[in-house]
Amino acid sequence: MTDDVAHEKAHDSRYEAVRSRDARFDGAFFFAVETTGIYCRPSCPAVTPKRSNVRFFATAAAAQGSGFRACRRCRPDAVPGSADWNVRADVVGRAMRLIGDGVVDREGVAGLAGRLGYSARQVQRQLTAELGAGPVALARAQRAHTARVLLQTTGLPVTEIAFASGFASVRQFNDTIRAVYAATPSELRAAAPARSRAGAGAPSAGLPLRLAHRGPHHAGPVFDLLQQEAVAGVEEVSGPKGRRVYRRTLRLPYGTGIVAVDERPGRPRTGSGGWLDTRLHLTDLRDLTTAVQRLRRLFDLDADPYAVDERLGADPRLAPLVAARPGLRSPGTADPDEFAVRALVGRAEAERLVARYGKTLDAPCGTLTHLFPEPGVLAEAEPHGTLGALTTALADGAARLDPGADRDDAERALLAVPGVDAATAAAVRARALGDPDVAPPGADLPDTWRPWRSYALNHLRAAGEWGNDR
């Protein structure tokens, strides 16, 4: 089969997904209609266009770069991110995770390339070849989405929103909004759904957000784990099961934040997927994109539950567990360095470190009073033993756990720290680095469960068949 024939067959399969409005593919690809100049998610409820008028794109940025505007009905810019970016360990996957974390906005393409260990030209070439858009275009699409959220959920002045979204100038902001949404910022704000306008307010009241996910989402075990692990002063889980709220403090590039995430699922009237209702309090709105991405990793919201459940549900041992908890996620962390320290020392010692070395919030909120201490602070305060060795490695970059870190390199660096065992390194790899296929020492996770062994372990843990002492 020639490449052209394979390419056309792939497009035919995508068109069938569009015809059936299959939400399983939302975020996996986008389609655009040449006769209208609009691009959509596969599950868009609009009338299906003729195949001859349809073009397909790997990213929203690629569709925007070809001159298409976002559909106002299906909001393709708001779909969960492709599950590939969190699964893949290659340079494209690592780059997408870093772009999602806001690295291009803060450090430019040169900073992104430096973190990946490639030249800026190499990164540009690889992203453009596979995704149809380079790092600048991908970051621009992300800024446009952030701007839309702020326009439609807050009463902030447009000028403040422009800079909070990461734009370098108001003119750049206005031009991008017009190009992406075919509307001025004021028109976009006026077009907000009534429920969004009703919840709009000043940033001091917090930003109400819906963190979208694809497919089913079985939240209970994730909240159970977060409740079990919660470190006083930094986190809390309150309320009865099924209606719990997870709250925590966040250290972010420009300031700090406090987040509250509701366990109760939000579900659309039609289609699959849904969202987690969230409220963010940020001291600097430039941190919005980064905070959202860190929460998405914490709750594993970009996962593909259809692919995970299909593979694990075919196993006789796991089939009843998957049937009982469809869409179970593999939780990550909001702060990789923090998780590494906590995985090493445990909850009680982590609370001691917070009380002694954590930075007190300028405006504490109930039981949330501190930020978890940074590795450099801990390395200086308690430089001896395994804790000192680990925090030193994290502080000086010998062990890198940021979203673009190479997972194999990170695990080797952790194991090189005296006193860090394989179980701790595996926990960090699964949670802090988001590896979906980790089998920790002592876990009976056969190769037939690849590439979703991290998810299998969470099913076993939720069913009481695997202990959790971390």
- Residues serving a catalytic function are 40, 444
Of 278, 261, 380, 394, which Cα lies nearest the Cα of 336? 394
Chain-centre distance of CA 158, in angstroms? 26
Q: Which residues touch 44 (CB under 8 Å, ≥6 apart)?
A: 18, 21, 71, 73, 74, 76
Q: Parallel, antiparallel, or unpaired for β 38-40 and 69-70?
A: parallel
User: Cα separations (Å) of 182 from 70, 71, 74, 244, 287?
Assistant: 8, 10, 15, 40, 26
Euclidean distance between CA atoms 400 and 336, whole angstroms: 9
With 0-12 CB in 10 A as exposed, 13-18 as middle and 19+ as buried, what is 148? buried
Segment (H or E) for 179: helix 170-181
Of 456, 419, 421, which Cα lies nearest the Cα of 439? 456
Euclidean distance between CA atoms 331 and 431, whole angstroms: 6
Collapsing DSSP states into helix, strand and coil, what is residue 75? Answer: coil
> Which residues partner with 26 through β-bridges?
29
As given in the structure block, the two tokens for residue 182 are: 């075919």
